[in-house]
């Protein structure tokens, strides 16, 4: 089975039509988008303040091998730059730095032909100016203790102390740590208040409501994720392993242009459907099992988050169907609360009521307080640059994107009839709030029992 699977993976690149027509993707967020986000952030800054945003550090995986670089989401949101060793300064009022006057200054790594031969092109000052239409750009060695006039600053908006940038255990600080140490000295030596909460509140408000350019990217990444789930529905059968389902899912993401997975793929079968963040994906799937796949792509920095639960043999057992349809009813009830003006908590409360009532009726619990035994999580979190994205918890507004994901998990040994054991069901969709109500971005993946069983009968390219 595995040998045939690997052969198909090797064959597929030659039989799938390429959809990209340009040499590289051309649908990244525009420089104007990032400039607009900086302007919006600056508008909400207090008087006489400066905001500091650092790029993510390069982190060692083992020996001389680094992890694949992942940019700080806030830094990316405000600049678009995906290189390390960089610092963004935003001032509320104009200042002069290195003979340049303005409110925005970017310090980046210098070109290095030797390094570029190994790891790819570094944009440098000129490249950043041209690519991101950013005016005041300098190499990071120009940032020093006199760059910011502390006498003109009343507060510093930054999150860097929570981002583990400053390392006290390095023999020689890297450029990012060096700049962070200078920033730390600015704050402590001059006794300037660090307005972490203010920075967080501004970013929560901004990132929680998606701009049209962001929504366009999110629609694409959710569509990629849906295609992965649909192919897994078609391909899964007894005798496959969980990691083979994962491979099919992630192949479809890559095939459609995804750079990464949005988070470690969850593909749990049998009792593993009841482990909320199960990630080892090693079990052999048997006839009569359910497979819970919580998997999604990441595209241009934005992540989807989709879950479907399917019968491995293509047919739900009577007990599986009852639990599945109870979760589906809970999700449908939550959807009715997805409209502007409703509180962020209301979809979850609606789902909770349905599941409590249903579990009591089935005799699995005797009172509503025990619902949390089998439904231990909330239904919703914001979605975007982070899979658990920044965003407010108050009234819903048009432009918010979040998940609705009720679930029921009944592991073996539960205090209920044994016929319910090993049934774990979660159904998760990505919801965009609109002026009129909501749009289910992931509606292309079947949700009902009939739709799931119908798709399971369709021919897959993997079997």
Residue scoring higher pLDDT (458 or 63): 458
Decide if 53 contacts 72 (C-beta within 8 A).
yes
Position 20 scores a pLDDT of 64
Which of 231, 277, 126, 226 has its CA nearest to residue 442?
226
Which residues have a Cβ under 8 Å from the Cβ of 140 and sit 6 or more positions away? 85, 86, 87, 107, 108, 109, 110, 175, 176, 179
Give the torsion sign (CA, 441, 447, 453, 456): positive
**Which two tokens mark 455?**
């798709």
Which of 359, 338, 339 has its CA nearest to residue 347?
338
Last residue of a domain, one of 159, 180, 206: 206
Mean pLDDT, residues 343-349: 98
**Which two tokens mark 66?**
């680094």
Q: How far apart are the first and last CA of the chain?
A: 10
**pLDDT per residue over 121-152, tens digit each?**
999 999 999 999 999 999 999 999 999 998 88
Same domain, 201 and 224: no
Assign 29 a pLDDT band (cuts: 50, 70, 90): very high
Residue 8 lies in a domain: no
> Is 64's pLDDT higher than 90?
no
| C-alpha dist (Å) from residue 123 to 27, 315, 401 | 19, 54, 33
Same domain, 221 and 78: no
Position 146 scores a pLDDT of 92
Position 39 scores a pLDDT of 98
Residue 417 domain boundaries: 209-456
Same domain, 363 and 278: yes
Q: Distance between CA atoms of 17 and 23, rounded to whole angstroms?
A: 15
Residue 462 lies in a domain: no
Backbone angles phi, psi at 179, to 5 degrees: -65, -35
Residue 17 lies in a domain: no
Give the torsion sign (CA, 337, 343, 344, 349): negative
Mean pLDDT, residues 390-396: 97
CATH at 92: 3.40.350.10
Same domain, 401 and 261: yes
CATH at 230: 3.90.230.10
Residue 316 lies in a domain: yes
Which residues have a Cβ under 8 Å from the Cβ of 213 and sit 6 or more positions away? 29, 30, 33
Position 463 scores a pLDDT of 76
Residue 10 lies in a domain: no
Mean pLDDT, residues 273-280: 97
Same domain, 227 and 331: yes
Residue 237 lies in a domain: yes
Mean pLDDT, residues 428-435: 98
**Which two tokens mark 314?**
């293509």
Assign 27 a pLDDT band (cuts: 50, 70, 90): very high
Q: Distance between CA atoms of 446 and 458, rounded to whole angstroms?
A: 13
> Is 403's pLDDT higher than 90?
yes
Assign 5 a pLDDT band (cuts: 50, 70, 90): very low
Assign 82 a pLDDT band (cuts: 50, 70, 90): very high
Q: Distance between CA atoms of 211 and 95, rounded to whole angstroms?
A: 29
Position 387 scores a pLDDT of 98
**Which two tokens mark 12?**
């597929």
Position 19 scores a pLDDT of 59
Position 389 scores a pLDDT of 98
Mean pLDDT, residues 184-206: 86
**Which two tokens mark 288?**
């009569």
Total number of domains in the chain: 2
User: Whole-prediction pTM value?
Assistant: 0.92
Which of 28, 444, 36, 428 has its CA nearest to residue 209?
36
Concatenated DSSP letters of 9-60: HHHHHHHSPP---SSS---SPPHHHHHHHHHHHHHHSPTTEEEEEEPPPP-E
| C-alpha dist (Å) from residue 206 to 40, 334, 384, 392 | 8, 25, 12, 9
Assign 12 a pLDDT band (cuts: 50, 70, 90): very low
Last residue of a domain, one of 206, 231, 257: 206
Same domain, 225 and 113: no
For the chain, give the number of residues: 463
Residue 3 lies in a domain: no
Alpha-carbon Rg for the chain in angstroms: 25
Same domain, 285 and 392: yes
Mean pLDDT, residues 75-101: 97
Position 170 scores a pLDDT of 55
Last residue of a domain, one of 182, 206, 230: 206
Mean pLDDT for the chain?
Answer: 93
Mean pLDDT, residues 62-81: 94
Position 164 scores a pLDDT of 66
Same domain, 299 and 437: yes
Position 276 scores a pLDDT of 97
Same domain, 294 and 379: yes
Position 10 scores a pLDDT of 40
Task: Identify the helix (H) or strand (E) that includes residue 100.
Answer: strand 100-108
Decide if 308 contacts 299 (C-beta within 8 A).
no
Residue 23 lies in a domain: no
Same domain, 91 and 229: no
Same domain, 202 and 275: no
Concatenated DSSP letters of 135-173: SSEEEGGG--TTSS-GGG-SEEEE-GGGTT---TT-SS-
Which residues have a Cβ under 8 Å from the Cβ of 294 and sit 6 or more positions away? 265, 266, 305, 306, 307, 426, 428
Position 89 scores a pLDDT of 98
Same domain, 192 and 213: no
């Amino acid at each position: 089975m595995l040998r045939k699977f690997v052969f198909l993976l090797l064959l597929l690149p030659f039989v799938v039509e390429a959809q990209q027509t340009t040499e590289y993707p051309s649908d990244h967020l525009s420089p104007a988008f990032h400039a607009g986000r900086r302007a919006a952030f600056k508008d909400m800054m207090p008087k006489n303040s400066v905001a500091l945003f650092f790029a993510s550090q390069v982190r060692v995986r083992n020996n001389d091998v680094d992890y694949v670089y992942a940019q700080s989401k806030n830094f990316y949101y405000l600049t678009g730059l995906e290189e390390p060793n960089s610092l963004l300064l935003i001032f509320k009022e104009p200042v002069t730095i290195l003979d340049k006057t303005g409110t925005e200054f970017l310090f980046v790594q210098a070109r290095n032909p030797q390094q570029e031969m190994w790891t790819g092109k570094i944009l440098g000052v000129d490249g950043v100016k041209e690519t991101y239409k950013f005016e005041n750009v300098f190499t990071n060695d120009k940032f020093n203790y006199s760059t910011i006039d502390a006498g003109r600053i009343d507060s510093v908006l930054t999150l860097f102390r929570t981002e583990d940038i400053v390392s006290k255990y390095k023999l020689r600080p890297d450029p990012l740590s060096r700049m962070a140490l200078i920033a730390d000295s600015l704050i402590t030596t001059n006794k300037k208040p660090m307005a972490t909460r203010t920075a967080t509140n501004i970013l929560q408000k901004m990132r929680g409501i998606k701009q049209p350019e962001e929504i366009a990217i999110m629609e694409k990444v959710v569509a990629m994720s849906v295609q992965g789930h649909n192919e897994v529905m078609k391909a899964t059968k007894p005798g496959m392993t969980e990691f083979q389902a994962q491979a099919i899912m992630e192949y479809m993401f890559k095939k459609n242009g995804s750079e990464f997975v949005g988070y470690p793929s969850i593909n749990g079968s049998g009792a593993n459907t009841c482990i909320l963040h199960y990630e080892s994906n090693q079990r052999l799937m048997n006839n009569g099992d359910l497979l819970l796949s919580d998997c999604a792509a990441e595209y241009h920095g934005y992540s989807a988050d989709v879950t479907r639960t399917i019968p491995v043999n293509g047919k739900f057992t009577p007990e599986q169907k009852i639990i599945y349809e109870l979760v589906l009813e809970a999700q449908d009830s939550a959807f009715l609360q997805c409209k502007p003006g409703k509180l962020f908590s209301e979809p979850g409360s609606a789902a909770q009521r349905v599941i409590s009532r249903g579990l009591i009726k089935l005799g699995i619990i005797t009172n509503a307080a025990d619902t949390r035994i089998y439904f231990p999580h909330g239904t919703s979190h914001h979605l975007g640059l982070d899979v658990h994205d920044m965003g407010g918890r108050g009234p819903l507004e048009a432009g918010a994107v979040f998940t609705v994901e009720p679930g029921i998990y009944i592991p073996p040994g539960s205090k209920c009839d044994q016929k319910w054991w090993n049934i774990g069901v979660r159904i998760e969709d990505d919801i965009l709030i609109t002026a009129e109500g909501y749009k289910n971005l992931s509606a292309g993946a079947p949700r009902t029992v009939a739709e799931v069983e119908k798709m399971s009968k369709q021919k897959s390219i993997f079997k």
